[in-house]
Each structure stands twice: as C-alpha cells, then as structure tokens.
Amino acid sequence: MIFREVEDRDLVLAARKGNVDAFNRLVSRWEKRVYNYLARLVRDREDAFDLSQETFLKAYRHLPRLEDVDRFPQWLFRIAHNQAFSQFRRERPEVEAPVERAGGQAIAVGGRGIFPQELELAVADALEQLSAEQRETVMLKVYQGFKFDEIAQIQSCPVSTVKSRLYAAFDLLKNVLTPVA
C-alpha cells in the first residue's frame, strides 16, 4: 500500500471550502519557517510572532483569492513580506534601509577555537550589516530555498534586482565571515 502525504495543494483546496482543520495543518507546516523568516528580518521575536499571526490570519481570510494553489508557499511569504515591510514603514522607517557598513570588520568564523555562540553572534552581526531587502533575499534563498523567480514574486521586483541584492549581500558576507587564514 502506498501512503501519500497530503500535499499543500490538497490542504489549500480543503481550507478554501471552509475546512478549518486543513488550514490548521497548513499553519503547523509553515509557521516555524514563516516565523524564522520574519524573526531574522525584523530582528524582534515578539514582533515576528505577531507578524506571523497576522500573516496566517490574512492568508486564511484571503485564501479564496489565491489563483494558483500550487504556489501557496510563495503566496504565503509574499503576505509575510508585506506584513514586515508595512511594519517597517509604519513604525520604524529607519530599519527599512539601514546604512551599510562598507568593509565590515572581519570575523574569523572558520578559524580554530571559535565557539558556537561566537559564530552565532558573528553571523547575526554580519546579517545586521545588510539592508532589509538584502537580508530578506538571503533569508529567502539560503534558509527557505526559493528560486530567483519565486523571490522576485515575493518581493515584487525583477529577477535582476533579486540577483543584485543577493550577490551584493554575499560579497559583504564573504568579507565579514571570511576565515582568518
């Protein structure tokens, strides 16, 4: 007997017919990823949790508007993106485009004797040096594994912009996180 895990599209279709349990299953599948994406983007755990709740509430209410049920993840992250950047604009405009610290201080993450906590701090500090858009692009590519065209849809920008954001971010991260030879 072949067991097939229920796919997101089946849950989305069921949820669209008013099946709340189906939507709850979607929430349990995606909540941690959405939360971590938002936590790394807004850099505040409580804000990230509130935004996650708002994201899923909005998704639940607007589910009938989702045209392509196979693109639920991109659509969900698009909502999360809008929630986060609305908050940036509303409450903390200075966060939207933080000043990039050109040529940030190099941290020896690859060197011997570095502790996990130090590595964590080094990475967090490196991410802090990115603009919100660059940081988000890194989150969506490295942590969420979206393709460039999917990120372009989430961020509502051309693929070329996605690439330039990601490549600029990695140029900076390479410098900051380069191991001391």
Partner 1 sequence: MSCCPFDLRDYFFEELEATQRRDVETHLQACAGCRTEIEGLRMARQALLRLPDQEMPRGIAFVSDPVLDPGWAGRLWSGARQWGFAAAMMLAVLFFGLWMSSRTEARLVQKIAAMEASHAAEMRDVEQAYRMVVAQMNEFYRREAEVRPAAFRQ
| Contact pattern for partner 1 over residues 97 through 126, marking x by CB under 8 A | ------------xx-----x--xx-xxx-x
Question: In this structure, are residues 173 and 139 in contact, taking their beta carbons and an 8 Å threshold?
Answer: no
**Binding to partner 1 in span 7-26, by CB under 8 A:** 18, 20-21, 23-24
With binding defined as CB under 8 A, does residue 63 bind partner 1? no
Tokens of 33: 């990823």
Q: Which residue has the tokens 């991109």?
A: 74
CA distances from 75 to 44, 72, 156, 175 (A): 23, 5, 11, 33
Among 32, 62, 89, 92, binds partner 1 (CB under 8 A): 32
**Between vectors from CA 38 to CA 33 and to CA 39, what angle results, nearest 5°?**
95
CA dist list (Å): 151 to 15, 46, 62, 158: 25, 25, 21, 9
Among 80, 84, 130, 141, binds partner 1 (CB under 8 A): 141
Contact residues for partner 1, defined by CB under 8 A? 18, 20-21, 23-24, 27-28, 31-32, 35-36, 39-40, 45-46, 49, 52-53, 56-57, 60, 64, 109-110, 116, 119-120, 122-124, 126-127, 138, 141-143, 147-148, 163, 166-167, 170, 173-174, 177-179
